[in-house]
Amino acid sequence: MTRAPLIALIDGPLAADAPGFAGRADICAMHPRAAESPAALHASCMAAAIHANATGARILGLSIFAGRLSTSLANVAEALHRAAVSEAEIVHCSFGHGKSSPLMDEAVAAVLAAGKLLVASAPARGTPVYPAGCAGVVSVQGDARCNSSQWSLLNLPGAQYGACPVTSGVPVRGASLAAAHFTGLLARACMSGGIENMLQNPSFTGRERIGTGGPQAA
């Protein structure tokens, strides 16, 4: 088994008692009550979902949400550049910007050029979001067929992969949580058989469709 990977979580302010906490850097000034904010809750849920599949993984928080779940493109780009020069093997983004831009493209390219995996959430419907829509990014959407330790190979225009979008008792759900579950699976693969081996063994292949008997492969 190899050393537990470091994951750069670009999100809200990550609490020091979060599972796998390995440090935190605030890209923007935090709200005085940031620790009680929706942004902090979102970051906590993402860290827990990652850690559920990779209990040994270490998580470096890069805070771009000061309190609310909104931020500037400049903050996103700065966090990506920070992640690019960090020791993180995987960079996680459970958010999306509605438009592509040179600033985003350059920051994503820096992460990929550093040899890191960049995982980002992608909506199941609607237009692409970024960084999930950028070339080379591991894009993940929710797939109701999957439990928290499963994933699907979708190869859809908006997302390459699917993963579990819910956890019982967790208020955050959808693509954000699905991407975090998938990042945890990648981190676990880093510590065992390797990512290439993992990606050859999806639990499901093809688009999910909802029939009378529940989610099915298309």
pLDDT, mean of residues 5-26: 96
- For residues 86 and 6, the answer to whether their CB atoms sit within 8 Å is yes
Instruction: Determine the Cα–Cα distance for residues 37 and 65; give it in Å rounded to an integer.
Output: 10
Q: What are 43-64's pLDDT values in tens digits?
A: 999 999 999 999 999 999 999 9
CATH of 6-217, one of 3.50.50.60, 3.40.50.200, 3.60.70.12, 3.40.50.300: 3.40.50.200
Nearest-5° Cα angle at 66, 127 to 11: 55
The model's pTM: 0.92
Tell me the HSE value of 201 on the side-chain side, using a 13 A CA sphere: 11
- For residues 39 and 11, the answer to whether their CB atoms sit within 8 Å is yes
CA 199 from centre of chain: 17
Q: What are 177-196's pLDDT values in tens digits?
A: 999 999 999 999 999 879 99
